[in-house]
A and B are shown apart, each in its own frame.
Chain A
Amino acid sequence: MEDWRKNKGAFAIFLGPASFWLLLFFVIPLILVWVYSFGERGPQGQTYLALSFENYLRAIEPIHLGIMLKSIWIGAISTAVCLVVGFPVAMGIAFAPSRWKNPLLLIVVLPFFTNLLIRTYAWIAVLRTRGFLNFGLEWVHEKANWLFALAGFPAALGEFVPLELLYNQYAVVIGLVYVHLPFLILPLYATLEKLDRSYLEASLDLGAGQWRTFFSVLVPLVMPGIVSGALLVFILSMGNFLVPDLLGGTDSLMIGNLIAREYGAARDWPFGSALSFMIMYPVFIFFVINAMVARYRTRRRAEV
């Protein structure tokens, strides 16, 4: 049978619909947004095409730049927490007996079957002052107090004061980690699953302990999975606007909320576009550098 990749006609047929889709609904809108970002807002919120850098100048004003930096910061924290929480889970699934793998993976993706909005609202019910978490803590507090009373120290812990868990940065991070955890676990699991176990055995065989094997062999070998999972979580977290909107406080405005506001309530599409591209430019630069490094590496390998 002929290799379909070598047959240009077949290649075009298979690739055509996807390319067309991407072109029509991704590339063209992206170009439109880019063009808008140099435009001007009309008095009624219309968008006039122009060649103005006004929007970009506004975007780097301290208040907007601050929100951008905070989004990156919160995105980074969420990614780090996802890694710490997700790595053991991915490892647990990858090293589980094979008949357990699929059920465990199903549990990881199960939350996707419920609407994101509902799941995020559910966190409000958990975290708010009179929410499930505080109820649980109150119960523990009460029992502890009762125990202390038994031991002869009545009211040693004092009155229970509910924790302020909602409407702050922590709630945002908790929400972002919760929503994006599967995006880290799945690529990481896929990489761990493919990893040849004999690398780990070889490390143990050569005298390394479990921790040494983890950091010197396992982590470097699954780095591609870590990077793709972390990148996915970081990008999704940074641009998320639903979670900060529902769980965040007044100081939890993230870049996604800002853009949504400019496109929505403020009816300032050019400024919203400029804000969007302020995030896109670093991503573009990252990809260009990445491609250059990859090309350099292949060339160097070919020379050896």
Chain B
Amino acid sequence: MTEQAPIIRVRNVTKRFGSVTAVDDVSIDIRQGEFFALLGPSGCGKTTLLRMLAGFETTSEGEIEIDGQPMLGVPPNRRPVNMVFQSYAVFPHMTVFDNVAYGLKVTGVGKSEIAERVKEALTLVHLEDFGRRKPDQLSGGQRQRVALARALVKKPKVLLLDEPLSALDAKLREAMRLELVHLQHSVGITFVIVTHDQDEALSMADRAAVMDHGVVRQVAAPATLYEHPNSRFVADFIGKMNLLEAKVAGLSGGRLAIDIEGLERFEVPHDGPASGEIGIAVRPEKTRLSKEQPAAGRLGLKGKVSDVAYYGNESHILLDTDTGVRFTTTIQNETRRSDSSILIGDDLWISWSPEDTLVLSE
């Protein structure tokens, strides 16, 4: 056996609502046992795509296969997937036990088996003592665990999660990220999570699809998305990014010569074609500030500090270069200082290594 067949195969799927195209010709394969994220700004079509996987929306065009079965015309209650809703949708008129048992009851599972499996599922999410409570006696985090248990007790082929952490407070959200990853490892079910939060996607997912205006821009592992974005959109959406407009001066032997206003012509390694106007990007943490002109071999621009934002562990410095580009850079606050050594109005150089330069032709 060479490559395992994907558990979810999305082929050229398009979804139109009236004249609006919410999902535009999307093709994705999601692998068995993977933690997959659909990432993008609100309105990018990620939730619509998830709802098409669950069966709540029909596809306008294209095909969805789950576990090798075409899903066209298959209603939600006949699909081998279960969903954790953004609002959790824990039934308020049922106890926690009845909520988790519901999906088993409606499919005619025997009483003793229900009791056993519900107990197992509640133990999995650390709610074993909460079976007799009503949802209004639970915290938001506990309600979410009920929603998780309720979906997992069905032993689905794929678990779909729609912005599962968005309703939790910051501390709990971070803890739940780890817990979801652990949970996924222990149950071995494929997770597909929808999120607009890039940190969430980067920290949890094995792979993520970045979506924009209904189109999938890039499908890759988190590190690839961060270090090798394939377009301005992905570069800008994932993390902070400094973008510069540049011109291609020449391409030979895997080296791309680039002209940028205020800099001498420089070369970066690049494979693939490139010509005309391109984008150049540098991550803030890969730039350095200095009072003197940086050493030869580094790319440096002179500018004036326009803002300093303090975040505790680090500070974000905004620098307006003499060529009119606004740079963001981060400095680690490694020692306790009563005042920042960098002040608004300081004249500084910002520099980075050509190897850390990203070329974005899209």
Contacts and interface: CB of A to CB of B under 8 A. Distances in A.
Interface of A: 196, 198-199, 201-209, 212, 216-217, 220-221, 301, 304
Interface residues of B, number: 27
Nearest to A219: B93
Contacts of B137: 301, 304
B203 to A, nearest CB: 26
B87 A209 contact: no
7 contacts: A196-B89, A202-B150, A203-B91, A204-B75, A204-B76, A205-B76, A205-B81
Contact of B87 (A196, A221, A304): A196
Contacts of A202: 83, 85, 89, 91, 150
Contact of A217 (B91, B107, B133): B91
B86 interface: yes
Contacts of A209: 77, 106
A297 to B, nearest CB: 11
B14 to A, nearest CB: 22
B310 interface: no
Contacts, number: 67
Given A196-B87, A220-B93, A221-B93, A201 B102 contact: no
B75 to A, nearest CB: 7
Interface centre among A198, A201, A207, A301 (most CB of B within 10 A): A207
A198 B89 contact: yes
Given A201-B89, A202-B150, A206-B106, 4 more contacts: A206-B103, A207-B78, A207-B103, A208-B102
Contacts of B106: 203, 206-209, 212, 216
A198 B54 CA distance: 12
A162 B83 CA distance: 58
A195 B54 CA distance: 20
Contacts of B75: 204
B351 interface: no
A221 B93 CA distance: 7
Contacts of A206: 77, 82, 102-103, 106, 150-151, 154
B250 interface: no
B154 A207 contact: yes
Contacts of B82: 205-206
Contacts of B133: 304
B77 A205 contact: yes
Contacts of B107: 207
A26 to B, nearest CB: 35
Contacts of A198: 85-87, 89
A304 B87 CA distance: 24
Contacts of B102: 203, 206, 208, 216
A212 B146 CA distance: 21
A82 B91 CA distance: 27
B98 to A, nearest CB: 10
Contact of B56 (A201, A207, A216): A201
Contact of A221 (B56, B77, B92, B150): B92
Nearest to B109: A207
Contacts of A208: 77, 102-103, 106
Contacts of A220: 93
